[in-house]
């Protein structure tokens, strides 16, 4: 496993935050534009192969990927700290304390924004389950011949596997 330290976590947090903020803004603008022209996401018209619906589907895929990546990073940090605790390694107490604080608050603002955009999801769902539902929603917006359709199916399979590992149905 790669060495996880405070600097690498902060860098990942910064990159994911920037990507998520941009994607959330793009999703908001695309949704507004679709409502403006009279196509609602829940209607049968959204299955039309329009550039706007395709773009909105791609944005949802990217948001789900960010949401999944946040979960993967958190799980890796938890596993590393658990392994260090069992092996008795001691490091810089202050750095561990800072790392724990960063992990505890990791991407809280962006996670709340993603959940606010996707407020239809059940609050009891974990991060991977929410990503799967976001990807299923995106799948309905993409034509089967689009390359993003296959990418979405791969991401759904990835999230299902991570969910199974997280719930200890599979070994990592």
pLDDT at 160: 93
Length of the chain: 172
Cα atoms in the Cβ-side hemisphere of radius 13 Å centred on 43: 9
Q: Please state, in angstroms and as integers, the Cα–Cα distance from residue 47 to each residue in 39, 41, 84, 141, 149, following that order.
A: 10, 9, 50, 6, 13
Question: Among 152, 16, 19, 121, which residue's Cα sits nearest to residue 71?
Answer: 16
Q: Where do the domains of the chain lie?
A: 6-166
pTM, to two decimals: 0.71
129 alpha-carbon distance from chain centroid: 10
Q: Write out pLDDT tens, residues 50-108.
A: 787 888 888 989 988 888 888 888 777 777 766 666 665 555 666 666 766 666 666 66
Q: Which of 2-6, 57-61, 165-169 has the highest mean pLDDT?
A: 57-61
């Amino acid at each position: 496993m790669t060495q996880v330290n405070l600097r690498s976590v902060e860098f990942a947090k910064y990159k994911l935050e920037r990507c998520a903020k941009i994607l959330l803004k793009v999703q908001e603008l695309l949704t507004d534009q679709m409502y403006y022209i009279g196509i609602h996401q829940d209607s049968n018209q959204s299955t039309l192969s329009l550039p706007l619906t395709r773009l909105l589907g791609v944005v949802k895929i990217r948001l789900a990927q960010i949401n999944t990546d946040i979960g993967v990073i958190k799980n890796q940090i938890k596993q590393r700290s658990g392994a260090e605790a069992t092996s008795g390694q001691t490091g810089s107490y202050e750095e561990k304390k800072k790392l724990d604080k960063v992990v505890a608050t990791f991407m809280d603002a962006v996670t709340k924004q993603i959940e606010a955009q996707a407020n239809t999801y059940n609050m009891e769902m974990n991060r991977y389950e929410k990503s799967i539902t976001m990807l299923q929603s995106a799948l309905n917006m993409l034509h089967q011949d689009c390359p993003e359709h296959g990418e979405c199916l791969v991401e759904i399979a990835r999230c299902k596997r991570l969910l199974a590992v997280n719930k200890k149905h599979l070994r990592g």
